[in-house]
């Protein structure tokens, strides 16, 4: 595919992510922090986010499988997840974390399980989408072009 088309595809893809509520303007802020001093800033942050989130989601799954559920600890972990998703602008994940925290506060196991499933699901989606976006960007760079803002 030629460069112009790739670039257009990237712009459309990004716009759709915003429109569908996957990303919010915090992600734009993140992108604005990337410059020639910091060329891979966004990718680095997002990778960090992926590592962190996977770790947290695993711990949350384990916590919910226990006999006695430590809600307090779970709450702290969901808080972490909420914080990091809000920092990169993963809008849907962040919103779900808020709901998740509510369930933790009232010690509602059913709700927590349901929320965890949803968060995992949304996380999966956003991860795939961001990875696709990065791939597109990489393709553009390989073709010698620059990433449109």
Partner 1 sequence: MLSGQEDSKNVLCARKSGKGVLAAPFRLLKTNRLGVILTFAVYKRDLPLNATPTERIQATDGYLGGVFDIESLVEKLLQQLASKQTILVNVLDTTNQSYPISMYGSNASNAGLEHVSLLNFGDPFRKHEMRCRFKQKPPWPWLGITTSIGILVIALLVGHIFHATVNRLAKVEDDCHKMMELKKQAEAADVAKSQFLATVSHEIRTPMNGVLGMLHILMDTDLDVTQLDYVRTAQASGKALVALINEVLDQAKIKSGKLELEEVQFDLRAILDDVLSLFSGKSQDKGVELAVYISDQVPQMLIGDPGRFRQIIINLMGNSIKFTEKGHILVTVHLVEEVIDSIEVETESSSENTLSGFPVADRRQSWKGFRTFSQEGSINPFSHSISLIVSVEDTGEGIPLEAQSRVFTPFMQVDPSISRTHGGTGIGLSISKCLVNLMKGEIGFVSIPKIGSTFTFTAVFTSGSSSSKKYKSQQINKMSNSVSSEFYGMRALVMDPRPVRAKVSKYQIRRLGIHVEVVSQWKQGLSSIRRGSNAINMVIIEQEVWDKYLNNSTLFFDTLEKIDYGTPPKVFLLSNSISSSGANISTGVCNMTVIPKPWRASMLAAALQRTMGVGNKGNPCNGQLPSLSLRNLLLGRKILIVDDNNVNLKVAAGALKKYGADVVSATRGIEAIELLTPPHQFDACFMDIQMPEMDGFEATRRIRDMEHNINNRIHHGELSVEAYNNVSNWHVSILAMTADVIQATHEECLRCGMDGYVSKPFEAEQLYREVSRFFQ
Give the binding site for partner 1 (CB under 8 A): 26, 29-30, 32-33, 35, 37-38, 41, 44-45, 48-49, 51-52, 76, 79-80, 82-84, 86-88
If you compute the radius of gyration of the chain from its CA atoms, what whole number of angstroms results? 17
Query: Least distance to partner 1 from the beta carbon of 5, Å?
Result: 28
Question: CB of 137 within 8 A of CB of 127?
Answer: no
Of 103, 121, 120, give the one whose Cα is nearest residue 112: 103
Nearer to partner 1 (CB atom), residue 16 or residue 32: 32
User: What end-to-end distance do the CA atoms of the chain give, in Å?
Assistant: 20
The least distance separating partner 1 from the CB of residue 83, rounded to whole angstroms, comes to 5
Decide whether 29 or 61 has the Cβ nearer to partner 1. Answer: 29
Q: How far is the CB of 54 from partner 1 (least distance, A)?
A: 12
Q: CB-based contacts of 131: which residues, under 8 Å, 6+ apart?
A: none
Name the token pair of 148: 């449109």
CA distance 141 to 134: 10
Pairwise CA distance, residues 7 & 147, whole Å: 7
The residue (of 97 and 136) whose beta carbon lies closer to partner 1 is: 97
The minimum distance between CB 49 and partner 1, in angstroms, equals: 5
* Residue 47 vs 139, nearer CB to partner 1: 47
């Amino acid at each position: 595919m030629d460069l112009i088309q790739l670039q257009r595809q990237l712009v459309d893809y990004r716009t759709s992510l915003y429109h569908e509520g996957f990303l919010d303007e915090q992600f734009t802020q993140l992108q604005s922090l990337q410059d020639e001093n910091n060329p891979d800033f966004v990718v680095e942050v997002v990778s960090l986010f992926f590592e962190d989130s996977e770790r947290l989601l695993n711990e949350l799954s384990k916590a919910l499988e226990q006999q006695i559920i430590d809600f307090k600890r779970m709450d702290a972990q969901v808080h972490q997840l909420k914080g990091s998703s809000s920092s990169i602008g993963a809008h849907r994940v962040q919103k779900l974390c808020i709901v998740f925290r509510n369930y933790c506060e009232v010690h509602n196991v059913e709700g927590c399980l349901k929320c965890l499933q949803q968060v995992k699901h949304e996380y999966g989606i956003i991860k795939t989408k961001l990875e696709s976006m990065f791939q597109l960007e990489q393709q553009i760079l390989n073709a010698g072009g620059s990433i449109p803002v």
